[in-house]
Amino acid sequence: MSTRRTTSQDVAEHAGVSQSAVSRVFTPGASVSKKMADRVRASATALGYRPNVLARSLITGQSRIIGLVVSYLDNQFYPEALERLSRGLQARGYHVLVFMSQDGEDLDEVIQEILDYQVDGIVMASVAMSDGLAARCEAAGKPVVLFNRGQDTDRVSQVTAANRTGGAKVADLLVAGGHARIAHISGWLGAMTGRDRAAGFRDRLAHHGVDLAGEMDGEYRRDRASAAARDLMAGPRPDAIFVGNDVMAFAVMDTLRFELGLSVPGDVAIVGFDDVAMAAWPAYDLTTVRQPADRMVTATIDMLLGRIDDPARTPQKLEIDGPLIQRGSTRPVEAP
């Protein structure tokens, strides 16, 4: 039935040369004469030969596979990042093997599976990692990059947006907009992104001498954010809400407009975080802080491949600043 794959041995026989010669032709930088290369390539295409990546990786110790751990894809920021990551790695000869992690605690098992595949590196998208686990990966010689998730450790590299600064920018904007009662529905406070955005926002408000008129944990979930919006509106009404990410901000806007009959930005101004594609759609037209997915992904790839090429390099933390994008969900304000 399924014909045996053609091997370098087959090509060697067909071309009348040794197997090692064939291998060298397909190994960049190996020593082969032009004549040999031509001859082997001719036989190779005649037989439809291509090197077996798995066998190769067995001996080189390089699989050209990057493991990606991701816990959910329903925040549009992640599919976008995944697409860029995959394209970028592909362009450099790597490919992404996907591992979905339940929100539960099977992360250990997931990492084990990843290591079983002999990946060359690991990207964890918005997933936290115990210190012991990080140590295990590094001990196995597999560099790890935490994408969009900060953590207090020096064992692994990290790429995040400038969350504190972003939060501060929002504070500046809302204060400049003359808002008196400003509230916050935060991202999940169990994660550093959520905490940093909130802290940056709070600190900057304080710096302006403005008190926070309410803060609730939206946990990065649509339903929690809607509930939080209802709660906030039940008391003395805020006239502006900074929401910890765009997806929650959409939920808040929907709740305000269609459930409570309020106008955005007429009654309440809304600001999000991420700048996913939908934020620009007219139905929401959301003012938000951009997380520059392109630069974040580029940095992630560079860090990862950098450490693969030179294992002596040490882990690194990088924060990437993104601009505040003013749109219709806030009243226009001169740039500060």
Partner DNA sequence: TAAGGTTTTGCAAAGGTATGCAAAAGCAGC
Partner DNA sequence: GCTGCTTTTGCATACCTTTGCAAAACCTTA
Name the residues that contact its own copies, by CB under 8 A: 1-3, 5, 50-55, 57-58, 63, 65, 72-74, 76, 78-80, 82-83, 86-87, 90, 95-100, 112-113, 115-118, 139-141, 250-251, 253-254, 257-259, 277-278, 281-284, 311-312
Rounded to the nearest whole angstrom, what is the least distance from the CB of residue 305 to its own copies in the complex?
Answer: 16
Provide the Cα torsion 71, 325, 295, 131; round to 10°. Answer: -40
Q: Using CA atoms, how far apart are residues 252 and 103, in angstroms rounded to an integer?
A: 24
In contact, 139 and 111? CB cutoff 8 Å: no
Q: Which does 63 bind (CB under 5 to 8 A by kind): DNA, its own copies, none?
A: its own copies
Query: Could you give the angle at the alpha carbon of 32 between the alpha carbons of 26 and 34, nearest 5°?
Result: 100
Q: Which does 312 bind (CB under 5 to 8 A by kind): DNA, its own copies, none?
A: its own copies
Rounded to the nearest whole angstrom, what is the least distance from the CB of residue 234 to its own copies in the complex?
Answer: 19
Q: Which does 80 bind (CB under 5 to 8 A by kind): its own copies, DNA, none?
A: its own copies
- The Cα-based distances of 223 to 126, 182, 218, 230, 287 in angstroms read 20, 21, 8, 11, 21
- Select from 30-38, 93-101, 156-164, 200-208 the region that touches DNA (CB under 7 A): 30-38
Interacting residues with DNA between 38 and 67 (CB under 7 A): 49-52, 55-56, 58-60
308: closest CA among 110, 53, 123? Answer: 123
Rounded to the nearest whole angstrom, what is the least distance from the CB of residue 180 to its own copies in the complex?
Answer: 27
Q: Which does 3 bind (CB under 5 to 8 A by kind): its own copies, DNA, none?
A: its own copies
**Going by DSSP bridges, is the β-strand pair 287-290/324-325 parallel, antiparallel, or unpaired?**
antiparallel
Q: Which does 331 bind (CB under 5 to 8 A by kind): DNA, its own copies, none?
A: none
Tell me which amino acid residue 52 is.
N
192: closest CA among 105, 103, 128, 107? Answer: 128
Structure tokens at 181: 């009662």
Rounded to the nearest whole angstrom, what is the least distance from the CB of residue 89 to DNA in the complex?
Answer: 19
